[in-house]
């Protein structure tokens, strides 16, 4: 290879690297995708067939990216006029009390479901080292003021659809035994659980149905044809998307709307649009 060819190859490689870096930093983190999925639910009431359920997860309000992106994404979701909306945790990237005001600003644009709006907490909602329950209490208050029913090891029913919500696995209030032993396996149910690793724990008490989770962000960076190099879960099957747990439970891991740092490649941010169907 001649010196001129080496220079051309180096220039081309640098150009491709620069374009890829710019795309991963300034384009894909803000290129939200609506992902459409069918959700077959056992014993679903006939009048709920065809209704929509939106999952929004891991918005990570904070100082690391412009909150206008989140507000614009919320407005796009509102235009879908969903029947149910669920939020599966990590509303902030907590540093200090400033995040409460930032979250309140974003929550002025909360996406509501016509029949129900349900949420749970994630690990980042428990402050530093996931060990500040006062932070979780304040975020819970802000969510409730915005019209979100927050389930912390609790259950609720909206329009005939039952919701179970577990508090975060890493937080200070993870007590699934407060709700799971009492659930009725005959009810049409959707369970919310921020960290998908909980699927492998012995806490389910015969639950069969859908589990909606977040936490992983899909790894944020995924080389083509390879697994994400970094995932914050023990079970790497739970990177993103639909997972059949082979025991009548179906897990769905949302890739997150926000991010800890604005860097994504081959893992676009997501709002999931489920269509309810009878199983």
Total of domains in the chain: 1
- Provide the pLDDT for residue 232: 94
- Write the pLDDT tens digit of every residue in 231-260: 999 999 999 999 999 999 999 999 999 999
pLDDT at 17: 52
Q: Is the pLDDT of residue 11 over 70?
A: no
On whether residue 42 sits in a domain, the answer given is yes
Tens-place pLDDT, residues 177-204: 999 999 999 999 999 999 999 999 999 9
Confidence of residue 7 (pLDDT cuts 50, 70, 90): very low
- What's the confidence (pLDDT) of residue 4? 54
pLDDT at residue 15 in the model: 47
Q: SS in 3 state form for the chain?
A: CCHHHHHHHHHHHHHHHHHHHHHHHHHHHHCCEEEEEEEEECCCCHHHCCCEEEEECCCCECCCCCCHHHHHHHHHHHCCCCCEEEEECCCECCCCCHHHHHHHHHHCCCCCCCCEEEEECCHHHHCHHHCCHHHHHHHHHHHHHCCCEECCCEEEEECCEEEEECCCCCCCCCCHHHCHHHCCCCCCEEEECCCHHHHHCCCCCCCCEEEEECCCHHHCECCCCCCCCCCCCCCHHHCCEEEECCCCEEEEECCCCCCCCCCCECCCCEEEEEEEEEC
Tell me, yes or no, whether 256 lies in a domain. yes
pLDDT at position 45 over 50:
yes
Neighbouring residues of 197: CB distance < 8 A, sequence distance ≥ 6: 169, 233, 234, 235, 238
Residues of the chain above pLDDT 90, percent: 86
What CATH number is associated with residue 193? 3.60.21.10
48-62, 113-127, 222-236 — which is least confidently predicted? 222-236
Sheet holding 270-278, edge to edge: 33-41, 270-278, 52-56, 84-88, 116-120, 149-150
For residue 23, what pLDDT is reported? 85
pLDDT for 22 equals: 79
Q: Is residue 53 part of a domain?
A: yes
Is residue 111 in a domain?
yes
CA separation for the pair 71, 76 (Å, rounded): 9
Mean pLDDT of 157-161: 98
Give the residue numbers spanning the domain of 193. 31-278
| 104, part of any domain | yes
CA–CA separation, 197 and 200 (whole Å): 6
> What tens digit of pLDDT does each residue of 15-39 get?
445 566 778 878 999 999 999 999 9
Structural domain includes residue 5: no
Looking at every residue in the chain, the average pLDDT score rounds to 93
| Residue 141 pLDDT > 70 | yes
| Residue 273 confidence (pLDDT) above 70 | yes
Residue 5: band (very low, low, confident or very high) from pLDDT cuts 50, 70, 90: very low
175 in any annotated domain: yes
pLDDT score, position 10: 42
Give the pLDDT score at 25.
75
Asked whether residue 20 is assigned to any structural domain, the reply reads no
């Amino acid at each position: 290879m001649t010196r001129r060819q080496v220079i051309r190859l180096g220039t081309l490689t640098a150009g491709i690297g620069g374009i890829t870096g710019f795309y991963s930093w300034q384009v894909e983190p803000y290129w939200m995708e609506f992902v459409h999925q069918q959700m077959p639910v056992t014993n679903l009431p006939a009048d709920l067939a065809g209704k929509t359920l939106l999952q929004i997860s891991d918005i990570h309000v904070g100082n690391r990216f412009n909150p206008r992106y989140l507000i614009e994404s919320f407005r796009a979701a509102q235009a879908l006029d969903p029947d149910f909306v669920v939020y599966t945790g990590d509303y902030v990237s907590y540093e200090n009390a400033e995040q409460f005001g930032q979250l309140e600003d974003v929550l002025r644009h909360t996406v509501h479901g016509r029949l129900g709006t349900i949420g749970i907490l994630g690990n980042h909602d428990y402050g530093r080292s996931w060990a500040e329950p006062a932070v979780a209490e304040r975020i819970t208050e802000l969510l409730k003021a915005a019209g979100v029913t927050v389930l912390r090891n609790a259950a609720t029913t909206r329009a005939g659809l039952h919701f179970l919500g577990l508090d975060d696995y890493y937080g200070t209030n993870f007590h699934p035994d407060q709700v799971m032993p009492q659930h009725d396996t005959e009810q049409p149910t959707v369970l919310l659980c921020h960290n998908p690793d909980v699927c492998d724990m012995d806490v389910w008490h015969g639950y069969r149905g859908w589990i909606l989770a977040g936490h992983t962000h899909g790894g944020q960076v995924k080389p083509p044809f390879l697994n994400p190099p970094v995932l914050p879960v023990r079970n790497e099957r739970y990177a993103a998307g639909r997972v059949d747990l082979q025991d009548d439970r179906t897990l769905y891991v949302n890739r997150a709307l926000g991010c800890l740092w604005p860097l994504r490649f081959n893992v676009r941010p997501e709002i999931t649009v489920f269509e309810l169907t009878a199983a």
